[in-house]
Amino acid sequence: MSYARQLLGTYPGAVIADTGVLAAAIDALSDCAQACTADADADLGEQNLAEMVRCIRLCLDCADVCTATIGVISRQADYDPGVTRPLLEACVAICKSCGDECERHAPHYEHCRVCEQACRRCEQACRELLGVLK
């Protein structure tokens, strides 16, 4: 059981959404931020750098947005849908873009294939959280 799930189970108060969906989103965001940080660096090590520039930029954006989202959705009280909803929408959008770009490179680079999977899973987990948010 992930730390996110354990911690949500011990929260002193109501949580903003179903614990399972919330924990899945936090775990997927954390994995995705980590994968994007590593993939951007792996891209910088490839020969055909000019073709990897877009992938590097999207990975950096994706890591930044995922990291902020972990913080905001980890704070359960004082939940404000006016902040959390657009932030999750930004997450879904960047995970989609970054996943699509990684998919283009996946046949050539295994690191992009792994990163694509992390982005797709995170996009899906954020969509599910958006669907059940109070």
Give the DSSP H/E element, type plus range, for residue 88: helix 81-105
Please tell me the distance from the alpha carbon of residue 88 to that of residue 19, in angstroms, as a whole number. 17
Please tell me the distance from the alpha carbon of residue 128 to that of residue 38, in angstroms, as a whole number. 26
Residue whose CB is less far from a copy of itself, 38 or 133: 38
**Residue type at 41?**
D
Q: Which token pair is 34?
A: 């980590």
Residue whose CB is less far from a copy of itself, 62 or 128: 62
For the chain, the helix, strand and coil percentages under 3-state DSSP, each to the nearest 5: 80, 0, 20
Residue from 24, 99, 105, 110 binding a copy of itself (CB under 8 A): 110
Decide: is 72 part of the binding site for a copy of itself (CB under 8 A). Answer: yes
Residue from 18, 67, 103, 133 binding a copy of itself (CB under 8 A): 67
Residue whose CB is less far from a copy of itself, 28 or 128: 28
Decide: is 6 part of the binding site for a copy of itself (CB under 8 A). Answer: yes
Q: Shortest CA distance to 101 belongs to which of 119, 78, 74?
A: 119
Decide: is 18 part of the binding site for a copy of itself (CB under 8 A). Answer: no
Question: Under DSSP, is residue 18 helix (H, G, I), strand (E, B) or coil?
Answer: coil
Contact footprint for a copy of itself (CB under 8 A): 2-4, 6-13, 26, 30-31, 33-35, 37-42, 44-46, 49-50, 53-54, 56-58, 60-61, 64-65, 67-68, 70-72, 74-78, 80, 82-84, 86-87, 89-90, 93-94, 97, 109-111, 114-115, 117-118
